[in-house]
Amino acid sequence: MNKYNKDYFEKGEELGISGYTNYRWMPGLTIPMCERFISYLGIKKGDNLLDYGCAKGYSVDAFNRLGYNCFGVDISEYAISKCNDSIKDKLKIYKGSKSLQHDEFKKFDYTFAKDVFEHIEKDELKILCKILYNYTNTLFVVVPLGENGKYIVPEYEGDITHVIRENKEWWESFFIGVGFKIRKSEYIVKGIKDNWSQYEKGNGFLVLDTSLTNVI
């Protein structure tokens, strides 16, 4: 049974398994966040975008409403089944590299993985990132950071599916080991996860390219 089921998204806080309660479309939050992605990364109209770990596809919906060509994949059949009707043709259940293939283009210009990679065991994550390396030009990763086996933001411990609790230096080394070049690596990006900005090193924001000189 997929652990990212109805209970995870709708009753997670009540059951003590995630930080979600009635996970729903909130355009007043999601659309401004996606606009910040666009300005921070320099995304242009005509770029092909992928939200890896898109859940119910709310960011995919927001990007498309803003006039951008965005797709999404997720391993949760429940979450994908609850997407807004307008983007059903934009979402897929992730089942390996074939889920990333499109007839219209070979690579995504930008792939986003926000609050996703911390859910994946390190060996499995390395395999996934090697796949993503071949299907994207730029990968934007947002992850909660840890130190000494604990998250710096205590609330992140409330999700029982979180398995990686590492600092930003570990993540940088990990992505370089996969082959990515680091364009940006920051602790805070205004407009994204502002609700946790009081924790100076609680989150990592990494912009990773497949062809650039490392800049850390």
Per-residue pLDDT reduced to its tens digit, 78-88: 999 999 999 99
Region 140-150 average pLDDT: 97
Report the C-alpha gap between 93 and 77 in whole angstroms.
6
Q: Look at residue 28 and tell me whether its pLDDT is greater than 50.
A: yes
Any domain includes 126 = yes
Any domain includes 5 = no
Any domain includes 142 = yes
Question: Based on the number of CB atoms within 10 Å of its own CB, is 184 exposed (0-12), middle (13-18) or buried (19 or more)?
Answer: middle
Any domain includes 180 = yes
Tally of domains in the chain:
1
Residue 193: what pLDDT? Answer: 97
Q: 197: which 2 tokens?
A: 């900005």
Region 140-168 average pLDDT: 98
Does residue 108 sit in helix, strand or coil? strand
Any domain includes 64 = yes
Domain that holds residue 45: 26-209
Any domain includes 11 = no
Q: Look at residue 215 and tell me whether its pLDDT is greater than 60.
A: no
Residue 143: what pLDDT? Answer: 98
Q: Around 123, how many Cα atoms within 13 Å sit in the side-chain half-sphere?
A: 0
Which domain CATH number covers 105?
3.40.50.150
Q: Look at residue 214 and tell me whether its pLDDT is greater than 80.
A: no
Any domain includes 43 = yes
Per-residue pLDDT reduced to its tens digit, 108-129: 999 999 999 999 999 999 999 9
Any domain includes 10 = no
Pairing of strands 146-147, 150-151: antiparallel
104: pLDDT confidence band, cut at 50, 70 and 90?
confident
